[in-house]
Structure 1
């Protein structure tokens, strides 16, 4: 049984608690939270501490805190030569304090506490400095996910940028679409089948192959009509930039 101490109480920590609760080969034996009441996932309150000095002995310490707090928390750990990993998509392995063995345990997914996820389908990106530590992290990851990848810090940073494009930016475009619907007394729900079909297409086609729309077919008449209909300057700017990007992509073929 791989023993885990989880440090953090945010969205990632919440879902890691739920995922490892189902594991038969790994167990979270303790959770650290500066405010105990922020632990919202089902977990024995007697195993929650708000004092780093009271951290239990474990095989792996997973730091699941905000990116800007990782280095500070790592430096405050009251022990040496233990395996300490973080869950960030952008923070380097080098941010972890060198007094301990370093690693990465990055689940590539968007997490919200009030939205359950199937952790078995979440890619987990792992990295370590020592092969034996990698083997521990690989076993740990495979206990909760069917999709485990060995990815270095440079690759992980690029992966996170890609994730921002396909997740955060796309979701922001959903918001802009919703605003246009509201402005014109239309239900946003009418777009949801289209959203699902667009997402499903890239499961079998490349994004380039799946691209459709007026920009793809250089339908300038429709493009100009859309721009004329938009009254919000920010929406016009976004529409123009994305249209140009799609058209420029076509010139590379």
Structure 2
């Protein structure tokens, strides 16, 4: 029997549909709050002008970045949230964003197969979605970001990463690979869906390869590390 492709869009959709109800709590508690801090830092990497703005939150999940995005840039009129999981979209509306619904629209789709319009966004942001793609898919995602950004548009991506070279890396990997599955098994009685987050993160490595993909598509790119490389990000702009 062939091994399951964990990067197949249908597989990714099913994983996040199943864990959507507890995703917000689990990710916050098991990251000791770092995911929330990193979302704010991702928003801080955006450089946006005054005036009405619209853009995409790719692999939007439960939309936890939206409060930070709208607080820093109150001139954003429209966030178009793209995610493959209907469960995550539903959870976003129910749990966090009923009061912001008039400023957020949803596109439930595999982002790499979506028909997003060229030069239709002032910004593109994504928090913790890169890990669910392999290197071939990263190249397609980089091309998509370059295509949908308007000239002068800004982008920011952040992802949990493998902190190679950090002296506490073994402890960090132990937390991802062993502690998370145990917490899920004992407290959540899940189907080990959350343990996939650890597998995706360690497979991902860091965002350096994705930075190169973005640059290859003509974008100005800066690579950044957060908390000793436990998260890495890329930011920049599309030249005018």
**Taking structure 1 as the reference length, what is the TM-score of the superposition?**
0.31
Structure with the bigger RCO (C-alpha within 8 Å, sep 6+) is 2
**Taking structure 2 as the reference length, what is the TM-score of the superposition?**
0.32
Larger C-alpha radius of gyration, 1 or 2?
A: 1
